Structure 1
Amino acid sequence: MYNMLTGVDLAKKEIQVCVAKSNKIVRNMPMTPTAFSNWLATQKPMTVVFEACATSNYWYQCAREYGHDARLISAKLVSNIRQNQKTDKNDAEAVLQASQLSNVNFISGKSKEQQELQSLVRMHQLSVKHKVAYGNQLCSLLLEAHKYACHVKSSLINF
């Protein structure tokens, strides 16, 4: 267990960082992504908890490369913990609080290889979905023209 625990709310232009030491919040500050990366690089190893979102795997990998214990936590859990209005500051604090629950289940982060494979699988699934949609559209257009050629739909698509 590390001495410091950090809850991070990620956004495109600003990252809110809430740092706790001995279960007491010592800092809750916004940073640019570049400043956050530099800050991670200069800190002693600590536990860094990110709310799971679009960029969380990138930052998870970055924190681990700098020697930190990085973890991802469900956005729904953070939402349930947050006590005040939804602001970046309150979200970062809620990430911190949620990570300290005794029965919290952290989300496993992905490696770069896993992310690349997931991207390929998603692109394949999307291309299959589009292929089916185009075939159905073609069949509909042919039927509207009173052409009953839907049985050859698959051969028309596989070009």
Structure 2
Amino acid sequence: MREKLTEFIAQQPPSKIVMEACGSANYWSRQFKRFGHEVKQISPQYVAPFRMGSKNDKNDAVAIVEADRRPGMRYVPEKTQEQPDIQCLHRVRQRLMKNRTALINQIRGLGLGVPRMNPVAKKGAMLCER
């Protein structure tokens, strides 16, 4: 399916492509730009008011075109390939910090953070707090 879409877009003359911003929009934006197309992404919150009826591909396409025709429409900037990678690293770091804090709080809750503990438990608690 991806290959067919890429082949189809490659055969089209350079034109303006407007899409709703989503998880894969940046990937497709980069693919389409390789073939000389101008690509714009619109935030879903700006497309939703123009959608008539239930959410399906046809209604989405009509709503995207209507939203794009509005003067002053704000577009979502395309993310570079590095930006999602950096965002992923930040999320992993944030999760590690959250887990570390939870472990420290659990150790304190069990009373292992008190200086009266045995030497083995004290050393383990000190390692966790680093």
TM-score by length of 1: 0.67
In the alignment, is the contact (CA less than 8 A) between 2:107 and 2:125 conserved in 1?
no
**Which residue of structure 2 aligns with residue 155 of structure 1?**
126
Q: CA offset at residue 135 of structure 1?
A: 2.6
Which one has the bigger strand percentage? 1
**Structure 2 spans left out of the alignment, 5+ residues:** 116-121
CA RMSD of aligned residues (A): 2.3
**Which residue of structure 2 aligns with residue 107 of structure 1?**
76
**Which residue of structure 1 aligns with residue 118 of structure 2?**
none
Q: CA offset at residue 134 of structure 1?
A: 2.9
Q: CA offset at residue 133 of structure 1?
A: 2.6
Which one has the bigger helix percentage? 2
**Which residue of structure 2 aligns with residue 14 of structure 1?**
none
Q: CA offset at residue 51 of structure 1?
A: 0.7
The structure having more radius of gyration, on CA atoms, is 2
TM-score by length of 2: 0.80
Letter in 1 for 2:126: S
Q: 1: distance between equivalents of 2:63 and 2:35?
A: 24
**Which residue of structure 2 aligns with residue 78 of structure 1?**
47
**Which residue of structure 1 aligns with residue 88 of structure 2?**
119
Q: Which of 56, 63, 66 is the aligned partner of 1:97?
A: 66
Q: 2: distance between equivalents of 1:53 and 1:93?
A: 17
* Stretch deviating more after TM superposition (87-96 or 102-111): 87-96
Q: 1:158 to 1:40 in 2, by over 3 A?
A: farther
